[in-house]
């Protein structure tokens, strides 16, 4: 694979990877770092790329793993600095600042609160519109697990939506 | 689409039974300006999904990425060829040193092993007076050394005795 092929086959999925990393990390700068690291890795391993039958799912897996590493690091640092920093507010990208109404922020919050796997599956299905098989490949999760996690995520969100509704929010 | 249809789709959505096309229909419905009041509470969810699809990296990302890739391409081979050049010169130098060492060894071992001893008879003193003077000088030197030793011993003994005195 030369640079032009890289540009035409791998680069176009960058935003998909970015959104996924952003969903997991909640921080645009960190998400961008992850995507850059992933794409550099893909470029360096371009020799093996012919053996990879689904580049997109492969990139997703790399993104997920890198994001998990970052999360672990963050979690460790957070425990160290628990009292020093208030890490509740993560910075938001320009699109988020302009497009977010309070109700959307609330949904974002609900999704953030989901368990990690449910969050990942819901993101890939409801935001990226991916078929179950692709989600299964991307997350290295069995098809039935994908469906169970999606079901739970949606049930979770519905319960919370109805709850806030009944409080008159 | 009417309320009934959408509500049915919603039910199936929350059960995880909808297809991608049906989920698309839901998103399209909630993107409309007018939404049935009874479905209003679910509107933000699907609107959120739609907004989230637009999140993207900024335009300079590609340039930064390609720069990072180039940077890396420059650094990696440079280092390895640099090391290779040094290794090549080192091996040449080592070969030359080895040749010289071998040549020297061959040359050295082939030298005849003749002992060029000193002919002491040339320095033998024949004048008795000079011999006496030399002997006297040598004895003086020796006695001076001996005296120095006994002086040193004496002072040491003194030092130890004062020390034991103090430590008592």
Q: What is the mean pLDDT of each run of 10 residues along chain B (168 residues)?
A: 91 96 95 91 93 92 91 66 81 93 88 68 82 91 85 87 84
Q: Is B23 near chain A, with CB under 8 Å?
A: yes
B118 CA to centre of own chain:
57
Q: How far is A75 from chain B (nearest CA, A)?
A: 25
Residue whose tokens read 């959505």: B13
Cα–Cα distance measured from residue B4 to residue B48, given in angstroms and rounded to the nearest whole number:
23
Q: Is A143 near chain B, with CB under 8 Å?
A: no
Contact A100 B51 (CB under 8 A): yes
DSSP H helical ranges for chain B = 3-14, 20-30, 43-52, 61-109, 128-167
Q: How far is A95 from chain B (nearest CA, A)?
A: 7
Cα–Cα distance measured from residue B22 to residue B72, given in angstroms and rounded to the nearest whole number:
46
Whole-complex ipTM: 0.83
Q: Is A42 near chain B, with CB under 8 Å?
A: no
Average of per-residue pLDDT across A27-41: 94
Q: How far is A83 from chain B (nearest CA, A)?
A: 32
Q: Which of B42, B57, B64 sits opposite A18 (nearest CB)?
A: B57
In this prediction, residue A49 has a pLDDT band, given cuts at 50, 70 and 90, of confident
Q: Which residue of A has its CA nearest to B56?
A: A15
Q: What is the dihedral of CA A14, B60, A26, B55, to 10 degrees?
A: -60
């Amino acid at each position: 694979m030369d640079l032009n092929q890289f540009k035409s086959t791998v680069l176009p999925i960058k935003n998909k990877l970015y959104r996924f990393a952003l969903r997991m990390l909640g921080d645009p700068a960190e998400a961008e770092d992850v995507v850059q690291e992933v794409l550099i890795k893909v470029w360096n391993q371009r020799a093996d790329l012919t053996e990879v039958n689904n580049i997109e799912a492969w990139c997703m897996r790399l993104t997920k793993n890198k994001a998990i590493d970052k999360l672990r690091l963050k979690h460790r640092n957070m425990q160290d600095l628990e009292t020093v920093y208030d890490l509740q507010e993560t910075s938001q990208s320009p699109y988020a600042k302009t497009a977010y109404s309070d109700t959307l922020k609330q949904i974002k919050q609900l999704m953030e609160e989901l368990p990690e796997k449910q969050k990942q599956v819901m993101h890939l299905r409801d935001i990226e519109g991916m078929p179950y098989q692709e989600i299964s490949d991307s997350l290295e999760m069995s098809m039935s697990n994908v469906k169970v996690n999606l079901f739970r995520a949606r049930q979770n969100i519905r319960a919370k939506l109805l709850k806030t509704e009944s409080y008159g929010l | 689409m009417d309320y009934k249809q959408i509500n049915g789709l919603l039910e199936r959505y929350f059960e995880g039974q909808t297809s991608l096309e049906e989920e698309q229909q839901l998103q399209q419905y909630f993107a409309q300006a007018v939404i049935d009041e009874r479905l209003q509470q679910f509107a933000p969810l699907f609107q959120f999904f739609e907004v989230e699809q637009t999140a993207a990296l900024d335009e300079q990302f590609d340039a930064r990425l390609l720069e990072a890739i180039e940077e890396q391409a420059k650094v990696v081979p440079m280092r390895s060829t640099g090391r290779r050049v040094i290794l090549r010169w080192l091996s040449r130098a080592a070969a030359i040193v080895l040749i010289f060492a071998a040549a020297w060894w061959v040359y050295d071992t082939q030298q005849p092993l003749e002992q060029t001893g000193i002919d002491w008879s040339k320095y033998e003193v024949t004048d008795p007076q000079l011999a006496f003077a030399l002997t006297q000088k040598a004895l003086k030197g020796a006695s001076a050394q001996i005296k120095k030793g006994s002086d040193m011993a004496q002072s040491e003994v003194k030092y130890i005795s004062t020390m034991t005195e103090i430590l008592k």
